[in-house]
Structure 1
Amino acid sequence: MNNIAEQLSAAYHNIAENCRQLQRDPQSVQLIAVSKTKPVSAITAAYQAGQRQFGENYPQELLSKAEQLTALPELEWHFIGPLQSNKTRLVAEHASWVHSIDRLKIAERLSAQRPASQKPLQVLLQINISDEDSKAGISAAQLPELATAVAKLPQLQLRGLMAIPAPGDSERAFAAMQQLSKKLRQQHPGATELSMGMSDDWPLALQYGATMIRLGTAIFGARTYERNE
């Protein structure tokens, strides 16, 4: 098993080096450690090494891990996968961020189910930037209407955009996302986050303004797929 602390240290070093080359502040970039399918022991090891932001794709897995890791008070869950309406409560109650809003119905349910005792849920709108039938997300043309509607919901805070480009389409897609992000901020100044870039293409994402990169394999090693949704 890879040494998670060493892998994390290397990832942060590489991010900082890339940011310096791009004349960006490394503090402007968050690393989301994608822990889906990984055991709580791996998350604990990353937490002990200083990592606080973790990404999960499946509501039931998020719930299970959140319940097992209540002793880690600064841990911040980012839900990054497709979300069905019958699973929104789990995410509303346990996540701090949702990167994958692509329907108003989902946003409305998250808003209604977010406990009043918690801070507003931070949300990103997912763009299907490569126009893939197999991918979730809205089209660029749908963005203004959905952003306006989501921004009005209580217990949610619109923070920006997320995308997962098709293989081979990263540079075009990242450039398009950068432009969409700029346009969104004109109408919603608080929507400054741009979640894009994974283990194989994150340096390119940084060139196009990514503020959140999602690294799983680079930190935890290859994934296994025994899990419960």
Structure 2
Amino acid sequence: MMMTPADLDAFAIGFMLTERLADSTRDVLSVEPFEAEAGWIVRVTLADRCRGRIHDRVRHRTSDTGCGLCGIASLEQLRRPVAHIPPRPRSGARALFSAIAALRDHQPLNGATGAVHAAAACAPDGTIVAAYEDVGRHNALDKLIGATAACGVPGFILVTSRISFEMADKALVASTPMLVGISAPTTLAVDHARAHGLTLVALARADAMLVLNDPWNCFDAVAGEGLEPPTPGL
């Protein structure tokens, strides 16, 4: 993995879950990171019942910080089952604006380098309860999912990146009610969110957002919160 060598335990658990190599943290028996001469090695032991999945989900090259689909042998591998329909979001526009305003304070590595992404778990009122950083946006989200796997993300996930198909897929694995990104989504990501009932918001700013999928009609009352509704296309 081409990634930032921090929070490797959380990353390993999140990666096992989002790759469907494990169904829950109970399937991850041990995670052992150790430093080698040229980088870090993380050894993960899975429950015996998960062993066959490693061969089914083999990647034919190392992962990098690209689109997230690198190494997938065929497009058929995109059609992976989604176990749960995301719950109804309990957050409105105010919560999203609050989280966006606070996010910078939870990005110390980006503050020092200006070169990494973040993924944050937010409470329904927008309070950021956990945030993880990495040079790769997929890795940052895997770290967050691994760290919060036991308790889940009751509010929403906020990411500082483009929302690709795999970012939407990871959010579905995490059973978060809503995925919010500060950049634009890909068509595959929007289609995936709509097919599985994931509330999806993109181009989120301090005072505007683009709601791309709202299956629960959570944003119909934006104006009722005393806020101007987001302008389509911004």
TM-score by length of 2: 0.31
Higher Rg of the two aligned structures? 2
Q: Which structure carries more helix by proportion?
A: 1
Higher normalized contact order (CA 8 Å, seq sep 6+, divided by chain length):
1
